[in-house]
């Protein structure tokens, strides 16, 4: 019986743990504004999948834990206003890439469109 406790100060809100969890204990709910990471109790198995894949080592806990939720507000695309990714996740990318954050707050569709617009203008 192993607990799953997500440290809210370290979690960046990516989807790694949710797709690693084979029991569906960690799940992600996404609405228009928020991404919610839902942990529905303790892990029944002795697996450590979620711990292994976490990019920031935010998952801790040895004792059984109660259900918990981590809520992230999604950053809005600066061009179209659609939700993109949680801000801590963009911060993580900007740190790793040594790139300012404002370059990253575009949604995927806008990136794809802007690429062709930039090429057409030339």
Partner 1 sequence: MQSMASWKIFINPERCIGCHACEMACEQTHGGASNIKVQCAPVFCRHCEVPPCITVCYRNAIEMRNGKILLIKDLCTNCGICIFACPFGAIMTTTITRRIEPKEKAHRDVPLLSRLFGGKIFPKERQIVLVHKCDGCVERAEAGVARPACAATCPSGAIECKDIAQASSSKRIRTYEVHLVTHLTHREGTSL
Instruction: Compute the distance between CA of residue 17 and CA of residue 51 in angstroms, rounded to an integer.
Output: 7
Q: Which residues on adjacent β-strands are paired with residue 83?
A: 76
Determine if 63 is a binding residue for partner 1 (CB under 8 A): no
Residues 77 and 107 sit within 8 Å (Cβ to Cβ): yes
Q: Does 76 bind partner 1 (CB under 8 A)?
A: no
Specify the DSSP class assigned to residue 35. E
Task: Pick between residue 9 and residue 46 the one whose CB is nearest to partner 1.
Answer: 46
The CA distance from 51 to 60, in Å, is: 7
Q: Is 32 in the site for partner 1 (CB under 8 A)?
A: no
Using the rule CB under 8 A, is 120 a contact of partner 1?
yes
Write down the least CB distance from residue 7 to partner 1, Å: 17
Strands (DSSP E) found in 7-120: 26-30, 34-39, 59-60, 68-76, 83-86
Q: How far is the CB of 63 from partner 1 (least distance, A)?
A: 14
Instruction: Give least dist CB 22 to partner 1, A.
Output: 7
List contacts with partner 1 (CB under 8 A): 1, 14-16, 18-25, 27, 40-41, 44-45, 53, 55, 84-85, 89-90, 92-93, 96-97, 99, 103-104, 108-120, 122
């Amino acid at each position: 019986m192993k607990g799953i406790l997500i440290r809210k100060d370290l979690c960046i809100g990516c989807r790694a743990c949710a797709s690693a969890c084979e029991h569906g204990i960690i799940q992600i709910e996404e609405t228009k504004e928020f991404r919610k990471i839902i942990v529905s109790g303790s892990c029944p198995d002795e697996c450590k999948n979620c711990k292994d894949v976490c990019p920031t080592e935010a998952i801790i806990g040895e004792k059984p834990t109660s259900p918990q939720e981590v809520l992230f507000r999604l950053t809005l695309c600066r061009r179209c206003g659609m939700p993109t990714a949680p801000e801590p996740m963009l911060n993580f990318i900007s740190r790793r890439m040594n790139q300012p954050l404002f370059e990253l707050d575009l949604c995927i569709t806008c990136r794809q469109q802007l690429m062709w617009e930039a090429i057409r203008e030339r």
